[in-house]
Amino acid sequence: MSGDAVPPETANVPRRTPTWLVATIAGGFGLFYAYAVWNALGNLIQSVQFAGENGFVLSPIGWVIWILAVIFPIAAFAAAFAIGYRRPAHYLILVLLTGLALTAVFWLNVVAYTELNYASLLA
């Protein structure tokens, strides 16, 4: 056996993505997810204030919709990170981008529903 041969037990071990790169990618995408959470929280507060100023309260379906709008980006980020953090960096980017796209679609659905059915959100 020559001195430059790779031992058989390490020949098929995949190289892990450096932790700093995983943290940088996750942190960058985390800002976009945090913006979605911040936006949903702002709209929840605005809806509660608007309802209160006009003598109404937010109905249970209104609370469910806005709380889901706050929770969904957090859950999507957690799921995407859990799926992608042990994979190569480009897979992590794709998985986080897919989660962000799902968050955007969910957000558009929430905005469309609340704009078209705002009266049903008030009790």
Q: With CA atoms as reference, report the closest residue to 86 among 6, 5, 2, 25.
A: 25
3-state secondary structure of 99: helix
pLDDT in the model for residue 121: 84
Q: What average pLDDT does the segment 12-22 reach? A: 84
Looking at per-residue pLDDT, the higher value among 1 and 106 belongs to 106
Is 98:80 a contact under the CB 8 Å cutoff? yes
> Tens digit of pLDDT for each residue in 68-116?
999 999 999 999 999 999 999 999 999 999 999 999 999 999 999 999 9
Query: How is residue 31 written in tokens?
Result: 């800002």
pLDDT in the model for residue 17: 87
pLDDT in the model for residue 123: 81
The answer to whether residue 9 scores a pLDDT higher than 90 is no
Location of structure tokens 């009266």: 119
The answer to whether residue 7 scores a pLDDT higher than 80 is no
- 111 phi, psi to nearest 5 deg: -65, -45
Q: What average pLDDT does the segment 46-73 reach? A: 93
**Residues 5-18: b if buried by 16+ CB within 10 A, e if exposed:** eeeeeeeeeeeebe
Q: Provide the pLDDT confidence category of residue 119 given band limits of 50, 70 and 90.
A: confident
| Start-to-end Cα distance in the chain | 80
